[in-house]
Amino acid sequence: QKEVEQDPGPLSVPEGAIVSLNCTYSNSAFQYFMWYRQYSRKGPELLMYTYSSGNKEDGRFTAQVDKSSKYISLFIRDSQPSDSATYLCAMSAGAGGTSYGKLTFGQGTILTVHP
């Protein structure tokens, strides 16, 4: 079993739909949770960053973390064709030592928003 599980999709939705992307994880040491968006032939772009459990909103994006269930989500409201990309969840235990800055990624979900 992978440490982080993410459905690779692909996911296809019409423009304006609400998109829900999810990851589950098994390592209870994870404290920092991130969502990245990656367009073809580009590097991952940080979308959301949260610490511990709770919700965070930024424009059309909302990130949720439920540490008790080891489950994180990213919601995209009013989705646009420009949101078409691969979305990667990532998490880390932070702190120092051998886990310093070490992100564990999900496999990525390919999202297509069609006009």
Partner 1 sequence: DTEVTQTPKHLVMGMTNKKSLKCEQHMGHRAMYWYKQKAKKPPELMFVYSYEKLSINESVPSRFSPECPNSSLLNLHLHALQPEDSALYLCASSQDSSAALHFGNGTRLTVT
* Cα–Cα distance, 87 to 90 (Å, whole number): 10
Residue closer to partner 1 by CB (options 19, 23) is 23
Smallest gap from residue 18 Cβ to partner 1 (A): 24
* Cα–Cα distance, 111 to 105 (Å, whole number): 17
Please report, as ranges, the residues that interact with partner 1 according to CB under 8 A: 31-32, 34, 36, 41-46, 49, 51, 88, 90, 92, 94-96, 98-103, 105-108
Smallest gap from residue 16 Cβ to partner 1 (A): 28
H/E segment holding residue 82 = none
Rg of the chain over all Cα atoms, to the nearest angstrom? 14
Residue closer to partner 1 by CB (options 43, 115) is 43
Smallest gap from residue 15 Cβ to partner 1 (A): 25
* Cα–Cα distance, 21 to 24 (Å, whole number): 11
Residue closer to partner 1 by CB (options 17, 110) is 110
* Cα–Cα distance, 111 to 21 (Å, whole number): 9
